[in-house]
Structures are given as C-alpha cells and as structure tokens.
Amino acid sequence: MAKLGVAVYGVVSYLIFLATFVYVIGFVIDFGVAKSVNDGPAMAWPLALLINLGLLGLFALQHTVMARPGFKQMWSKVMPQAGERSTFVLASSIALILLCLFWVPLQGMLWSVSEPWLRTALWVGCAVGWGLALVSTFLIDHFSLFGLRQIWNHLRSNPEQTTIEFRTPFLYRWMRHPMMTGFFIAFWVMPDMSLNQALLAAGFSIYIVLGTMHEERGLIREFGDQYRAYINSTPRFFPGLKF
C-alpha cells in the first residue's frame, strides 16, 4: 500500500503540473484564462512591483532550496526517495499557481505590433518557444524529469540507476540548455509586450541564467573534463553565441 500511495502521489503531482503549465502559457500570453498577467485589481505601482517581485522570488527560492542535496536527504527521511522528484514538481506547481493568483498588474505597454504578418510571425515564434521547451524534456528523459519513472521503478521494486551517462541528443549538440532557450523565446517573442509580461519575462530570464550557472557547476563535479569540453564547444542558449 505504501508503494501504491507513492505512485498515486507522483501521478497526481504530474497531472497538477500539466494543468498548471497549460494555464501558465495562457497567463503569460494573456489568452484563454480566467486571470492573465494583465488582469486584476490595480494597486500603487511600488506595492504592485514589490508583490510581483516577491512572487518571482518565491518561485526561485523553491527551486533553489529543493534542488540542494541537503534538502533531498532530509526529504528522504519523510517519504521514499522515489517521491522526491514528484514533491519538487508539486511544489513548483504550487509556486506557479500562487504567482498566477496573486500577480498584481502594472499599467503600460512596451510594444504592440500592428502589422498583421509580423504579428503572425511573432505568435508563431512564441509557439515555437513553448514547443521547444516541451520537446527538450523528452530529449533528456521527460518521465524522470517529472518523477514518473522514479515512482514506476519504486512500484516494481526496481533499483534506481546510480550512474548517469553523459549524452548530447539532438538539440543538445547545438545548445547546452535548449529547454531554457525555449522559455527565453516563449517569454520574449510576442507581438504585444506589457510591463507585466516584461517583468515576468525579465524575472524568469534572470533566474534561468543564474540557475543554469549553478546547475553547470554540479554537472562539472559529476562529469569533470567531459562537461568542461562540452562548455567550450557548445553555447549555453543560442547557437553562434558564446554566452
């Protein structure tokens, strides 16, 4: 029964994440959701900015703390290790839900493109960004990334693989973090960019840069010279750009 409970917990966490991810797309692009990034009661801009930065900081803090080995070791005392990734996924979803619920809109637009063909091209680019982020998860192992493989192995009493092979499948041959490249494109390539969308995009962009820097320090510890060579030969986000 304990194994079944962990499995149900992992599946429910994954489904909550899927629903949250779909909602976040609508939230960011201001389309098809009950409350988008541009909706909500107005407040004085200093207070609105403070609240929004706090929500972005909460998401960053959750990701940073729960990614640390110390937290993972502590959580393994509460529930089986197989549920650790599912907990991370669930907590990430809750942080995103809070961001969507309590985001306070700021007034103002940075740009709004009126030319029909250019608007269409920008929407296509935005869709490509979201698609790239999703496809990248399957290139590395979507089911492990979101905790499903761990709970499946736990349910079948299969031991977890302790050694990870360094691979650079498809998009990873041209950029080290194609998922994050997708998010950059999705957040910034839009025909209409309000101050809210720009603040959200800037906040996540800063976190992506800092987060990947921290992640790569761990990858260097794990793979050593193999990953250092990868850094020297492959750009972080965009082909042709060293940064």
Low-confidence stretches of the chain (pLDDT < 70) are: 1, 159-163, 243
In a domain, 243, yes or no: no
Q: Residue 163 sits in which domain range?
A: 2-233
Q: Can you point out the beta strands (E) in the chain?
A: 109-112, 192-194
pLDDT at 70: 77
How many structural domains compose the chain?
Answer: 1
pLDDT at 160: 63
Q: Residue 164: which region, alpha, beta or left (left: phi > 0; alpha: psi -120 to 50)?
A: beta
Q: Which residue has the tokens 């940064």?
A: 243
In a domain, 11, yes or no: yes
Strand-pair partners of 109: 194
In a domain, 238, yes or no: no
Answering whether pTM is above 0.85, one says: yes
In a domain, 241, yes or no: no
In a domain, 41, yes or no: yes
To the nearest 10°, report the CA torsion of 45, 49, 51, 53: 180
In a domain, 240, yes or no: no
pLDDT at 240: 82
